[in-house]
């Protein structure tokens, strides 16, 4: 399996229960999420200290009018280009499932690094309607504060 990475910065002052990054499978292949790193930036100042929660939720539709994000980087330059996409906006976001697969809480003045390696696996099946969304939960981000997210995945 080839491994890829992608990064994004959310919009500022993100409201509660708002998705800020989507990793979507391709029609011909799914992926395994292997690592998520999250932190907070606050413009040119120190982030306000507060507890934040990010939920990881499955999506069940492709959504419409995707935008933002980036083309995933090949961690091995000999690999083929990634089929999956990493987006930060949608005109109509993909539909989520009723419950998060995973939630992590951390302080905005620190960060969190979540590896899914070896026995732990977070698998997304092939198909453009399948993917994962990263959602701000519990507390809104203050003005000028944004999440910074990095993901690694295998296809």
Structural domain including 40 reads 3-154
pLDDT at residue 118 greater than cutoff 90: no
Is residue 110 over pLDDT 80? Answer: yes
Distance CA 58, CA 123 (A): 10
Q: Which is it for strands 18-24 and 85-87: parallel, antiparallel or unpaired?
A: antiparallel
Instruction: Specify whether the CB–CB gap between 53 and 103 falls below 8 A.
Output: yes
Given a cut of 90, whether residue 44 has pLDDT beyond it is no
| pLDDT in the model for residue 16 | 97
pLDDT of residue 117: 82
Look at residue 135 in the predicted model and tell me its pLDDT: 97
Q: What ranges in 46-135 are assigned the alpha helix state H?
A: none
Rg, the chain, Cα only: 15
Tally of domains within the chain = 1
More reliable by pLDDT, 98 or 125: 125
Contact 150, 6 (CB under 8 A): yes
| pLDDT value at residue 24 | 96
């Amino acid at each position: 399996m080839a491994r890829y990475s992608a990064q994004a910065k959310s919009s500022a002052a993100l409201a509660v229960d708002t998705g800020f990054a989507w990793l979507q499978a391709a029609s011909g292949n799914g992926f395994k999420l292997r690592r998520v790193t999250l932190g907070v930036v606050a413009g040119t100042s120190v982030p306000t200290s507060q507890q934040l929660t990010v939920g990881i939720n499955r999506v069940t539709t492709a959504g419409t009018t995707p935008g933002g994000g980036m083309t995933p980087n090949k961690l091995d330059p000999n690999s083929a280009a990634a089929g999956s996409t990493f987006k930060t906006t949608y005109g109509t976001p993909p539909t989520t499932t009723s419950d998060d697969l995973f939630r992590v809480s951390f302080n905005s003045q620190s960060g969190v690094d979540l590896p899914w390696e070896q026995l732990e696996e977070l698998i997304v099946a092939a198909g453009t309607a399948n993917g994962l969304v990263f959602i701000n939960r519990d507390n809104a981000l203050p003005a000028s504060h944004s999440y910074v997210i990095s993901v690694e995945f295998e296809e």
